[in-house]
Amino acid sequence: MSIILQMRRIVMISVLALSAVSLLLMLLGISPLTIGITLAKGSIFSWLKFNHVLSVWIPLLLCSCGLLFTFRAGLWNIGVEGQVICGAIGATLVLRLDNTGLPPAALLSLALFSSFLAGGLWGASAGLLKTRGGVNEIFGGLGLNFVAQGAVLWLILGPWKRAGMASMSGTDLFPRELWMWVPQGWRVAPAAIVLVIIIFLLTSLILNASQFGLKIKAAGFNPQASRLFGIRPNLICFMAMIIGGGLAGLAGGVQVSCVYHRLIPSISSGYGYLALLVVMLAGYKVAPVPIICLLFACLAAGSIQLPITLQVDSSLSGVIQGALVLSGLLVYGLQQGKRRGH
Amino acid sequence: MEVSIPSLIAAILVMAAPLVLAALGETLTEKAGVVNLSLDGTILLGAMSGFLVASESQSALLGFIAAASTGASVGAVLAVIGVRLGQSQVAVGFALTFLCRDLAYFLGNPYARQQGPQLETLPIPILSNIPFLGEAFFSHSIVVYVSLLAIPGCYYFLYHTRQGLILRSVGENPDGCWARGINPLKVQVLYTVIGGGMVGLAGAAFSLAVKPGWGHPQGCEGIGWIALALVIFGGWNPVRVAAGAYFFGMLQLLGIYFQDYFTTIPPQIFQVAPFPLMIFALILINLGHKSRNKKLTGWIELFSGRPPKWLGKTYKPA
Amino acid sequence: MIELADISKNFGKVQALHKVSLKVHNSSIHGIIGENGAGKSTLMKILTGFISKSGGDFFFHSESIDLHSPKDARKIGIGMLYQEPLDFPQLSVLDNFMVGTADFSPVNQRAALSRLCTNFGFNLNPESKVEELTVGERQQLELMRLIRDGAKILILDEPTSGISEKQQELLFGALRRLRNDGVAILLVSHKLEEIELLCDEVTVLRHGKMAGYQKRPFDREEMLHTMFDTLPVSQPPAVKHIAGDPLLNFHKVTSHVGRSGLNSVSTTIRSGEVVGLAGVDGSGQSVFLRSAFGLLQPESGRISGCREVTTRAFIPADRLTEGLIPGLTIREHHILSKKSGPIITSKSGLEKTRDAIKTYSIRGTSETEVENLSGGNLQRLLLSLIPADIQLILMESPTRGLDVQSAAWTWKHLHARLKAEGAIIFASPDFEEIMEQSTRILVFYNGSITLDTPTKATNYQQLSRAVTGEDNQQQ
């Protein structure tokens, strides 16, 4: 597709979504401009605020990278939330170990690795349910989300409860030396930023420039014909689920080791579902994903200011995100319909 | 807490009433071959609009009408993009789920935790005086009666009317319908809208009766996904779908009772537990289909059916 | 009475029908006979309003009308019995009978169904699910529904494929009855036998044109002659390869996939052979090819030889949706088809792809997505994707939709690349192609091989008899 057509599509989607949301706001007597300024102020006008944006961007981009793999394989991986939670549990498991004698850096790396494994395992279970049990991956993933949610509650309120009194606020904080290093005036660990950029580049390399990525694409586009090329579509789908789950798990690991320094019940913060929207808006393509993640992160971070300064609910950011995705689908549909008509 | 069997039955009927409405609405839509995944968001949006309109107008009836129209509009959006324009129904459904949810929280924010109208119980004269049955079945709000009547109503419509037959055949083989002079797309659009309307009603059933009020969270979050799972669990048969809804209502109720008995176990576990239990019941049934154990599969057949053949696919007339 | 005058239909550049004229009279059965691809199904789709004609006129009782949708066709009393019944397998017989009727009364309709059943001697339980019925019974149900809807013109598409002899007798009885009641019937078929049994007149179609017309009594030789291309009867096969060692062995292979499945098929394919699979569509050829490649696992029996994926290649009839991956480019297909490093650069496979585009004259660049290629180009791409060391090439309709030049090129290429240790197996609806290109012919009928002969030792007459099932009695 030509760049002009791409640009036109982007413009159409944004105009459609933004005018719909603006109309809604004006009907409610709220000035869209004020909202826009507040959102910008709350996200990119100060280093501290931008740090907050980055702290959303990191896990969101990780989950989106994972989803790129599963979407390429033609799968609806709805279990991202559960995979994030499992990753968080996997990391906590390592960080709670006593007397390992390992240096903190090694333990932290081990924790991240363990989060990848745990998330991958969760993704693999949904994959197994689909390939072996014939359970639609949407409901398998959803069921596993609920199970993971139950598991994290049980851990926090049971075996891993705070010293003294179990609390919904999470487990005890990890010892200070197991906190990922954060420079003065920063809110995010530079290590996490480096990690997520590497992961994104790897994702982009594997999906767009590797034999394996091509096989995933082939198996997703036309499983039947892919067999003529010696590809085993079921195996490829299974592997895509493991990678997708693993990257989501890594997001959970980063949340635990770099942000919260403990396990909390809402560790996934809905990033799993938000990532679905990101990748759908990106048209399942790799390149736009980090930009859309950044946009969504700005909206999410900026909206925190809304109730304080304008007495407007922060879920407005979700409305804008949803409107963008829906307009995207509408525009794709209209353009396809047009092409079919000619 | 005193537990008697009629009060238990009555509580389950109340708990499950909105779920029954939503799941039946989705059954109609899916029987026509369209999958509307937006239930979780639509229910919330319906709950919000129902509560908002009812509190402004002080009329519960207007609230229900508003909720139904809200749900129908969401269905219409899906019908346009997912049926007419042929985009993935799953993708549109997901986008709508999240859009509707956040729209509900956003628009409903000023009304959060406010007192609003609430349906009163309308014991049915004479019948409500019957011992045992009266308390269990005939001393409810209108929502419960509607949900109870909707089950045979839906069943009758699907299996004993001309329109119901057309609806089912479109979900099975749109080409066959086209050859018989029926436009399958029109039928799909119609039942996506009607099914959406019922899902919207389910929302109002929460905010005006079962869990009265509005807030963030409202308390009905997650129910939409259960309703979707129930449609599969019930094999696309309204009666079995409703049975599944009552089963889930029972699980939720048990969770509440167990909270009081097992004080050592955190109550949150009991609140979350019915959801995975429900989904895994479904998964087990699905797996049972594949097992070679005749006795097992025979028993499982009772609880399942095959999806409409055209479910989720886009129909393009030649 | 309906009349078609100079009906034409184009799909893009392809002309599927060219000036076809015919009349179907009341109280008469008009047969339409022709090979696959002769334009029969296009003609029927036009008659039922599924597609619209590109030219010509359609008269109903000498009044010119246009059909825009099946609804219009239904209105004037045209009813069609599809080869693959367009019914609702999960619904009950009675429900199927009732879909689309204005009079929705289960009691009335049940009575109407049982009345029609008695009339025609059918035996259907209104409560059974349609999926439990045989193809023949599903046909009976559809036929009764059309009659109930007041169809005055009945179109039947290959009504006897896949049904038992007894059901065939019942069906023919019903059709004769309907004819006597004044219904105009259009019977589309491959099978000479049933045309001779039933029809009052017959039109022969070939390559979208009218090739002949006869009234009772029919001249069978003449009909065969007009159906198939007339070539010297004893023309020797154009190719000569020497059969060598066994390459692929089918031992009592049985499968239930497809309409006829495979019925205890045993055969051995040797290297150097070019084997043509003949038969009416769905007689087992495609199941044979897919089992040979390994896409289908047989229910019983054993397939041996050439079991490595890297030793065989399969080109299905539906090239784009079954053989290629729409969304991927030509270069990406070439990268997939051979072993290469884990990383793909902008140069990977480029040279090979460019070579292939040149040698196979594919109209596209290495970055063209395959869904943008036309039929001939798709076929050449598929051929170019077959690695050099492949032993067994399996093809379904190798020249379907290709013009004469592309077809000739394809075969020249195939024969050239066939090495002493390799073999080609292809299925084709076109006798001419089979006679010209193969060294050995297997004829499939209802899932069994009914004729296995060197091409040299057979002729058109024997083949056409074998595919229409007439040789069965002798074997």
- Among B99, B266, B290, beta carbon nearest to A134: B290
Closest-CA residue of chain B to A133: B287
Structural domain boundaries in chain A: 58-282
Give long-range contacts, CB 8 A cutoff, 24+ apart: A208-215: A208/A286, A209/C343, A209/C344, A209/C345, A210/C342, A210/C343, A210/C344, A211/C335, A211/C340, A211/C341, A211/C342, A211/C343, A211/C344, A212/C342, A213/A72, A213/C344, A214/C328, A214/C332, A214/C335, A214/C336, A214/C344, A215/C336
B215: CB partners within 8 A, 6+ apart: B112, B113
* Chain A interface residues (partner C, CB cutoff 8 A): 205, 209-215, 217-218, 221-222, 224-231
Cα B197-B238-B159 angle, rounded to 5 deg: 100
C387 touches chain A (CB under 8 A): no
Q: Is B2 a residue whose pLDDT tops 70?
A: no
Token pair of C343, please?
């990383």
Q: Is the pTM of this model over 0.80?
A: yes
Token pair of C222, please?
């003449």
**Coil, strand, or helix at residue A267?**
coil
Hey, of A313, A327, A334, A340, which one would you mutate to test binding to chain B, going by the most B CBs within 10 A of its CB? A313
Tell me the pLDDT band of B262, cut-offs 50, 70 and 90. Answer: confident
* Chain B interface residues (partner C, CB cutoff 8 A): 160-162, 165-166, 168-169, 172-173, 175-182, 306, 308-309, 318
Four-point Cα dihedral C72, C73, C75, C81, nearest 10: -140
**Strand C262-270 versus strand C246-255 pairing type:** antiparallel
**CB distance C104–B165 less than 8 Å?**
yes
Q: Is B306 a domain residue?
A: no
Task: Return the DSSP state at C14.
Answer: E
Q: Is B294 a residue whose pLDDT tops 60?
A: no
**CB distance B286–A150 less than 8 Å?**
no
Round to whole Å and give the CA distance between A133 and C260: 29
Structural domains of chain B, count: 1
Nearest alpha carbon to residue A281 among A220, A324, A228 = A324
Token pair of C73, please?
């066709």
Q: What is the mean pLDDT of residues B296-306?
A: 56
Q: Is B107 a residue whose pLDDT tops 90?
A: yes
Closest-CA residue of chain C to B165: C99
- Among A147, A265, A323, beta carbon nearest to B276: A147
Q: What is the mean pLDDT of residues B255-275?
A: 77
How far B160 CA lies from chain C's nearest CA (Å)?
8
Token pair of C176, please?
């004769």
Four-point Cα dihedral B50, B53, B55, B59, nearest 10: -90
Of residues B269 and A226, more confidence is placed in A226
Task: Return the DSSP state at B150.
Answer: H
How far B166 CA lies from chain A's nearest CA (Å)?
27
Which residues of chain A are under the pLDDT cut of 70?
1, 338-342
Round to whole Å and give the CA distance between C460 and C283: 19
Residues of B in contact with C51 (CB under 8 A): 318
Round to whole Å and give the CA distance between B137 and B130: 10
Alpha carbons within 13 A on the beta-carbon side of B48: 26
Hey, of A206, A228, A231, which one would you mutate to test binding to chain C, going by the most C CBs within 10 A of its CB? A228
ipTM for the predicted complex: 0.91
- What's the pLDDT at C237? 45
C21 and C34 Cβ atoms separated by less than 8 Å: no
The residue type of B210 is: V
Number of residues assigned to chain B? 318
B42: CB partners within 8 A, 6+ apart: B36, B70, B71, B74, B75, B96, B97, B100, B196, B199, B200, B203, B224
Residues of A in contact with B232 (CB under 8 A): 136, 139
Token pair of B201, please?
């009603």
Q: Which domain holds residue B62?
A: 5-219
Structural domain boundaries in chain C: 2-227, 246-474
Q: C181-206 burial string, b = 16+ CB within 10 Å, else e? A: eebbbbbbbbbbebbeebbebbbbbb
Bridge-partner residues for C265, per DSSP?
Answer: C253
C343 touches chain A (CB under 8 A): yes
A164: CB partners within 8 A, 6+ apart: none
Q: A106-118 burial string, b = 16+ CB within 10 Å, else e? A: ebbebbbbbbbbb
**Number of Cβ pairs < 8 A linking chain B and chain C:** 63
Residues of B in contact with C75 (CB under 8 A): 181
Round to whole Å and give the CA distance between B189 and B83: 7
Nearest alpha carbon to residue A170 among A246, A70, A287, A92 = A92
- What's the pLDDT at C474? 42
DSSP of A106-124: HHHHHHHHHHHHHHHHHHH
End-to-end CA distance of chain A: 17
Token pair of C18, please?
């060219």
**CB distance B106–A316 less than 8 Å?**
yes
Hey, of A139, A167, A268, which one would you mutate to test binding to chain B, going by the most B CBs within 10 A of its CB? A139
- What's the pLDDT at C231? 45
**Containing H/E element for C302?**
strand C300-304
Token pair of C318, please?
């539906």
How far C250 CA lies from chain A's nearest CA (Å)?
20
How far C99 CA lies from chain A's nearest CA (Å)?
30
Alpha carbons within 13 A on the beta-carbon side of C16: 20
Say which CATH topology domain C246-474 has: Rossmann fold (3.40.50)
Token pair of A58, please?
């990191």
**CB distance B176–C91 less than 8 Å?**
no
Q: Is B208 a domain residue?
A: yes
**CB distance B168–C91 less than 8 Å?**
yes
How far B316 CA lies from chain A's nearest CA (Å)?
11
Tell me the pLDDT band of B286, cut-offs 50, 70 and 90. Answer: low
Round to whole Å and give the CA distance between A167 and A156: 7
Tell me the pLDDT band of B304, cut-offs 50, 70 and 90. Answer: low
- B65-84 residues touching A, CB cutoff 8 A: 77, 80-81
Top CATH class of C2-227 equals alpha beta
Residue C204 main-chain phi, psi, to 5 deg: -100, 130
Q: How many CB atoms lie within 10 A of CB B111?
A: 17
DSSP of C77-125: TEEEE-SS--S-TTSBHHHHHHTT-S---HHHHHHHHHHHHHHHT----
Q: Is B292 a residue whose pLDDT tops 60?
A: no
Residue by residue, pLDDT tens for chain C (475 residues) are 888 899 998 877 667 888 999 889 999 999 998 776 678 888 888 888 888 888 889 898 888 888 888 888 988 899 999 877 889 988 999 999 999 888 889 999 999 999 999 999 999 999 999 988 888 899 999 999 999 988 999 999 888 776 777 888 899 999 999 999 999 999 988 777 788 889 999 999 888 888 889 998 888 888 877 876 654 343 444 555 677 788 899 999 998 877 778 989 999 998 889 999 998 777 889 899 999 998 888 889 998 876 676 788 999 988 888 899 998 999 999 999 877 778 888 888 888 899 999 888 888 888 888 988 877 788 889 999 988 888 899 999 888 777 667 778 888 888 888 877 789 999 987 788 888 889 999 999 888 999 999 988 888 778 877 887 765 544 4
**Coil, strand, or helix at residue B171?**
helix
Residues of C in contact with B161 (CB under 8 A): 104
**CB distance C45–B166 less than 8 Å?**
no
- Among C316, C327, C340, beta carbon nearest to A211: C340
- Model pLDDT for residues B225-245, shown as the tens digit of each residue: 889 988 887 889 999 999 989
Residues of B in contact with C90 (CB under 8 A): 172, 306, 308-309
Hey, of A206, A217, A229, A231, which one would you mutate to test binding to chain C, going by the most C CBs within 10 A of its CB? A229
- Among B160, B173, B178, beta carbon nearest to C70: B178
How far B158 CA lies from chain C's nearest CA (Å)?
11
Round to whole Å and give the CA distance between B51 and B219: 14
**Containing H/E element for C251?**
strand C246-255
- C95-154 residues touching B, CB cutoff 8 A: 95, 98-101, 104, 106
Residues of A in contact with C295 (CB under 8 A): 227-228
- Model pLDDT for residues A35-88, shown as the tens digit of each residue: 999 999 989 888 999 999 999 999 999 999 999 999 999 999 989 999 999 999
Bridge-partner residues for C20, per DSSP?
Answer: C7
Domains C2-227 and C246-474 share a fold: yes
Q: Is B209 a domain residue?
A: yes
List, edge to edge, every strand of the sheet that includes C392-396: C312-315, C392-396, C423-427, C274-278, C440-445, C448-454
Q: Which residue has the tokens 């046909």?
A: C139
**Coil, strand, or helix at residue C175?**
helix
C295 touches chain A (CB under 8 A): yes
Kindly report which listed range (B245-259, B280-294, C239-253) carries the lowest average pLDDT score: B280-294
Alpha carbons within 13 A on the beta-carbon side of C366: 16
